[in-house]
């Protein structure tokens, strides 16, 4: 929830790629006290995870890009909503700079909001959280932890890991590093698939794995 107590809810289209119905490919926020809803973002293909930046109150979210273009494009994304009603490109433009070969329909990628960061093709980013605890070193504060579920149709799977993203409050200077990995088993097999992340009260990190049916606790100690 944001500072006003509103919840953010993504609405994805019912297909890989196509012209979506007007009621989907968007993110809305809902006031649980009144039931009022606002449209906050358009052109979003498939967002599963999101979190409010404790520094600014802005909503950031992961987005899964379309399939069946290639093994290496388009990239999945990390996005930030800077102002209400931004359009993030789907289905006309992918990863901020690749027009869709069929559905661009004259649109240029410059018309749409680019991602804060390209996460890689077919890594399948799901849950994400800003780290607000104090157990880990100080430079972890306000960085983003993203659970990558991993590929399903890439010839050599990617993802199946936790990445850490650092970025300025305005989304600039974004960089990602691998925080935890080891769930890939060969080219097309898993030992686990991270799906979501929560922070425990003590500042440790809880990771849900819906492949192994497990929850992992990642803690830091000197």
**According to the model, what pLDDT value does residue 222 have?**
75
Q: How sure is the predictor about 128, in pLDDT bands with cuts at 50, 70 and 90?
A: very high
How large is the average pLDDT for residues 3-31?
96
pTM for the structure as a whole: 0.97
Three-point CA angle 88, 89, 90, nearest 5°? 110
**According to the model, what pLDDT value does residue 1 have?**
86
**According to the model, what pLDDT value does residue 159 have?**
98
How large is the average pLDDT for residues 23-35?
96
| Nearest-angstrom CA–CA distance, 25 and 171 | 22
How large is the average pLDDT for residues 204-219?
98
| Nearest-angstrom CA–CA distance, 55 and 170 | 10
Nearest to 165 by CA among 154, 152, 156, 174: 174
| Residue 31 clears pLDDT 90, i.e. is over it | yes
Q: Chain-wide mean pLDDT for the chain? A: 97
Q: What is the pLDDT of residues 93-107, one digit of tens each?
A: 999 999 999 999 999
Sheet strands side by side (includes 214-218): 194-199, 205-209, 214-218
The DSSP H or E segment spanning 176 is strand 175-180
| 86-87 vs 37-42, strand pairing mode | parallel
Q: How sure is the predictor about 152, in pLDDT bands with cuts at 50, 70 and 90?
A: very high
Q: Where are the domains of the chain?
A: 7-218
How large is the average pLDDT for residues 75-80?
98
CATH of domain 7-218: 2.120.10.30
């Amino acid at each position: 929830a944001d500072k006003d107590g509103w919840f953010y809810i993504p609405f994805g289209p019912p297909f890989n790629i196509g012209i979506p119905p007007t009621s989907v490919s968007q993110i809305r926020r809902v006031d649980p006290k009144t039931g009022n809803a606002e449209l906050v973002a358009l052109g979003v293909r498939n967002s599963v995870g999101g979190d409010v930046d404790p520094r600014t109150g802005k909503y950031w979210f992961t987005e899964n890009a379309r399939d069946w273009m290639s093994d290496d494009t388009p990239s999945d994304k990390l996005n930030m909503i800077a102002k209400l009603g931004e359009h993030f490109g789907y289905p006309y433009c992918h990863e901020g700079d690749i027009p869709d070969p069929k559905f661009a329909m004259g649109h240029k990628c410059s018309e749409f909001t680019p991602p804060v960061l390209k996460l890689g093709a077919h890594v399948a980013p799901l849950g994400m959280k800003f780290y607000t605890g104090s157990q880990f070193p100080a430079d972890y504060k306000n960085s983003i932890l993203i659970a990558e579920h991993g590929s399903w149709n890439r010839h050599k799977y990617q993802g199946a890991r936790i990445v850490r993203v650092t970025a300025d409050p305005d989304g600039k200077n974004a960089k990602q590093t691998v925080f935890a990995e080891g769930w890939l088993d060969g080219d097309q097999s898993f030992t686990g698939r991270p799906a979501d992340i929560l922070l425990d009260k003590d500042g440790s990190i809880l990771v849900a794995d819906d492949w192994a049916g497990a929850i992992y606790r990642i803690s830091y100690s000197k």
